[in-house]
Chain A
Amino acid sequence: MKKSVLFFVFVVFAMVLASCNGAAPAGGEPEVCASDEFGCAKIPAGQTVKIGMGAPLTGDYASFGVDISQGAAVAVKDAGTVEGFAFELVAQDTQGAPEGGAAVANKLATDPTVVAIAGHIFSGSTEAAIPVYDKAGIPMMSPSATNPPLTTLGSKVFNRVAFTDAVQGKFAADYLYSKLGFRKIAVLHDGGAYGQGLADVVRDEFTKLGGEVVGYEAVTPGETDYTATLSALAASSPEAVYFGGYVAEGVVLTNNMKQSGLENAVFFGCDGTFGTEFVEKTGANGEGAYAASLIPPESAEKAKFDADYLAAYGVGAGTLSPYTWSGYDSAAVLMAKVKEVAVLGSDGTLYVPRGALVAAVRGTQGFSSITGDITCDAVGECNTAGPTFYIVKGGDWAQAEQ
């Protein structure tokens, strides 16, 4: 007993002493980096310039992580080299959870050859990661973290090519009310931060426009039968069902609508339900369903990417998740900016000034890629155009009347 108390006191004392000391001074830096706020990432000759990514590679949402990282990997292949150094994508598993996001962020931030982060994928994991990258001065470009407050946290490093839920929800409510002329809708979400955020915005905006939201429910993600929830909604006979969530649940809902008494209601999804998987798996049931997306209709870049992706992974782009194109873009922007700021040292080492890279990414103007024009504003919203609405016609997505 006495021994352990003594031990305890020792530890406390030593820790207080230890934590009072300042951090060790940094070693000598080459002059190109001396003026930089965060110093330089040094990549010795023969190594690769690493683009990090925190993505759910296992667990419930593995298909998102796998797909987006594959999209980014295509971008890495396309990017070529910077001063003779090849790029490499380091995708680490977050399991989609905030805890995993922080662990991955700490891991990637410790690796001196990681210069930028194409991610993270989900808002929760991103939010946990931002402070870590903020401290290390590593710029982020998220393909799919859409929670609005992420850009209001005052982070210098966080940017996204995805548009926020607030923007999308407002557009969607407006489209439902003004364009399609609906007055009675039901709003559904998947109980996640993303889906609920969207659903809330749509409900509030739609009510503000003068429409009536006759039902507001949530489904449990991962289940494959939502007839009960839908039947309850059907009792108030809405004209349309707005759903905030992801493809899997969107498909099940669309397929279940007919047998739940909602055969006359229109299914209106979001950018989470867009993609070829929705059309493939809903078949005739999906005809006439809407979704939003930041992908403009066909373009040469998109066609090339789709072909490359199919060749590399054996599945079509957009089959696993709707965000693979954003994954390509966020990695592409980051690598283009790395090329701009990287300096080859006389010792054959590549120096990437971190602070300059952070500023360069935030200052992206008119970068043209698959998702269209990428221009970052002062807080890091790089897609300010808003969504394009699509409708399923004849078994494929077609641009809806704007």
Chain B
Amino acid sequence: MNKQSIQKSAASGLVFGIIVIFFALIGFTVVFSGLIQKALGQSLGVGQIPSISSFLIFLGLLGIWNGWRASRQDKHETLSVKKVLGRSAIAGLVAGVLVMVYALIVGALNNSGINLRTYLSQLSSESVRFFLFNQTIVVGGLIHVFYSTLMAVIGGFLAVASERSRERVKSTRESIQKWSQDRWLGKLQGNPYVSYVLMGVVLLLLVLLPRTWGAYWNYVMGTVGIYVLLGLGLNIIVGLSGQLVLGYVAFFAIGAYTFALTTSPEPHNLVWNFWIALGVAVLAAALSGILIGLPIMRLRGDYLAIVTLGFGEIIRILLRSDILKDFTMGPRGVRNIAGPTLFGRSFTTDVDFMYLIILAVLLSIFLARRWQESSIGRAWLAISQDETVAQATGVDTQKYKLLALSLGAAFAGLGGALFASRNQFTGPEDHALMVSINVLVLVIVGGMGSIPGVVLGAFALKGLPEILRELESYRLLVFGALLVVMMIIRPEGLWPARRPKLEVPVEQDHEPVPLPATAGGEK
């Protein structure tokens, strides 16, 4: 073993040690062990500390990962048992010792009767003892060292084993692929009817699912659908025409409030028909896009971003302000907003609403695709690539940028109106800055300029936090971390746009520094 290899192993151990300590500090060890215990089918009462065995499983998984990572330092070398043994043992030992030091400190403080929760809210006396496996601090610390080393070594062996079997796996996979290509996949790919069948399946799912999966999933998926609408709109502005807008929520709010104020008995008693109000809301949002866009078309990049962010905040503050209270109901929000009616029958159950949203989404996808592939779309592409050149080649940049802004705003208006109608309530808190940020994130996570990307992004962004609900107060923490990891491993988004690359990205001029071979971020 050379010195560099030892250093790398120790570094891996260090990182894992810090991760374990961080998990312990935020109480994640207890929560995750509890989830493991529940997953194993054992019940766990409220406020009960999970069993030590589930904690050992949790630590074991981390330890194995540690050993695995430490062993595979170079893609091109072949691993030998001897190499791996040294590396993983070092990594495990370093992590274990680090954790032991932490355990000793915390355990000693806890034993001396200091209430650690005054400063670190998750470190209750029980959780500290749990971290020490209910042993004395010395025994608990030593168990950590021993267990961490053992698991890391196992992880190292697994790495060797996986490498040896990799060849076999690869050849098996290739043969399966070849077989399926010959037998059916190849034929299917060439068959034009396949896409019809696929569409049929999607259609069937869209029609049947809302009826079967219950009110909760209809609600969650309805929210996802509304965010697909928002994403499609912002995709036109950011993804296609290349303008960074951080105040998209302004249009959402204008749509929602226009709809709310025209259909609610309070405060104006207008009570318009659902469909008329919906149209008015969309128009109002589109118009506001033009009005807001006119004076600021000259701004570019981050200046445009902050100005639009300002617009979003201005709208939100005005909606809840005292001076507009008689007009918008102030912070209390507008209630009793109309639901959809058709031929005198009202559609207000969760299933009906889900269908309405699905229809709106399909319609919007259809429209967005038509625009994107028309001459307007090509003008937007030209503007987003290089505005000056686009102008020089005869594209009326002002006109097309304004068009993008107002069309994008119209989608937000539609989303806002549906949102208000479904909840039968809308208030200023529904239109906070985080909505803009969420929508921007979903467009980029999905893949800028790509419509399937927007759909996927909306699922990831609004669906994922709902799925992560099991993690309770840890869900946003996990969500934030996933966002960073996602950007690092897949910066082009989940489903990148398939536009032909017409030129070398401008950014490359600015980035002469090649990525360092081992970027610190992969830890």
Q: Does A402 contact B (CB under 8 A)?
A: no
- A73 in complex: contacting residue of B47, B207, B333, B347, CB < 8 Å: B47
Asked if B355 and A57 make an inter-chain contact with CB atoms under 8 angstroms apart, the answer reads no
Q: Does A377 contact B (CB under 8 A)?
A: no
Residue of B with least CB distance to A218: B322
Which of these, A15, A76, A193, A312, contacts B427 with CB under 8 Å?
A193
Q: Which of B51-59, B128-136, B210-218, B284-292 is the contact stretch?
A: B210-218
B203 within 8 A of A: yes
Interface residues of A in 79-109 (CB under 8 A from B): 86, 88-89, 91-93, 96-99, 102-103, 106-107, 109
A19 touches which of B203, B347, B424 (Cβ 8 Å): B347
Q: Mark B285-323, 1 if CB is under 8 A from A, else 0.
A: 000000000000000000000000000000000001110
Partner among B322, B350, B423, B475 whose Cβ is within 8 Å of the Cβ of A216: B322
Nearest B residue (CB) for A99 = B430
**B469 close to A218 (CB less than 8 A):** no
* Contact partner, A99, options B223, B331, B362, Cβ 8 Å: B223
What's the Cα separation between A19 and B210 when bound, in Å? 10
Interface of A is mostly: helix
Cβ contacts under 8 Å, A89 to chain B: 46
Please tell me the number of chain B residues within 8 Å of chain A, measured between CB atoms: 59
A98 B427 Cβ-Cβ under 8 A: yes
Is B188 part of the binding interface, using a Cβ–Cβ cutoff of 8 Å?
no
Partner of B124, one of A8, A12, A62, A314: A314
State whether the Cβ of A28 lies closer than 8 Å to any Cβ in chain B: no
Q: Is the CB of B330 within 8 A of A58?
A: no
Count class of interface residues, chain A: 35 or more
The reply to whether A58 and B355 form a contact with Cβ atoms under 8 Å apart is no
Q: Which of A10, A66, A128, A195 contacts B423 (CB 8 A)?
A: A128
Answer yes or no: B366 CB below 8 A from chain A CBs.
Answer: yes
CB contact under 8 A between A131 and B332, given known A92-B469, A103-B223: no
B207 contacts A15, C-beta separation under 8 Å? yes
The docked-state distance in angstroms from the alpha carbon of A77 to that of B331 is 37
Q: Is the interface of B mostly helix, strand, loop or mixed?
A: helix
With CB as the reference atom, state the residue of chain B lying closest to A313: B117
Q: In the complex, what residue of chain A is closest to B476 when comparing beta carbons?
A: A58
The minimal Cβ–Cβ distance linking B115 to chain A, given in whole angstroms, is: 6
> Beta-carbon contacts of A1-40 to B below 8 Å, as 1s and 0s?
0011001101110110011000000000000000000000
| Contact B331 A93, beta carbon cutoff 8 Å | no
Q: Which residues of B contact A312 (CB under 8 A)?
A: 47
Contact B207 A14 (CB under 8 A): yes
Bound-complex Cα distance A10 to B350 (A): 21
**Interface residue? A197 (CB, 8 A):** yes
Q: Does A132 lie within 8 Å of B215, measured CB to CB? A: yes
| 29 A–B contacts from the bound complex (CB under 8 Å) | A4-B366, A4-B369, A8-B362, A11-B203, A11-B359, A12-B359, A19-B347, A19-B355, A57-B472, A58-B473, A58-B476, A86-B45, A88-B46, A91-B472, A98-B430, A99-B430, A103-B219, A106-B218, A107-B219, A110-B216, A124-B425, A124-B429, A127-B335, A128-B423, A193-B331, A196-B330, A197-B332, A312-B47, A315-B118
* Across the A-B interface, the 4 shortest Cβ-Cβ residue pairs: A314-B117, A110-B216, A106-B219, A106-B216
Residues of B at the A interface (CB closer than 8 Å) are 43, 45-47, 115, 117-118, 121, 124, 195-196, 199, 203, 206-208, 211, 214-216, 218-220, 223, 320-322, 325, 330-333, 335, 347, 350-352, 355, 358-359, 362-363, 366, 369, 419, 423-427, 429-430, 432, 466, 469, 472-473, 475-476
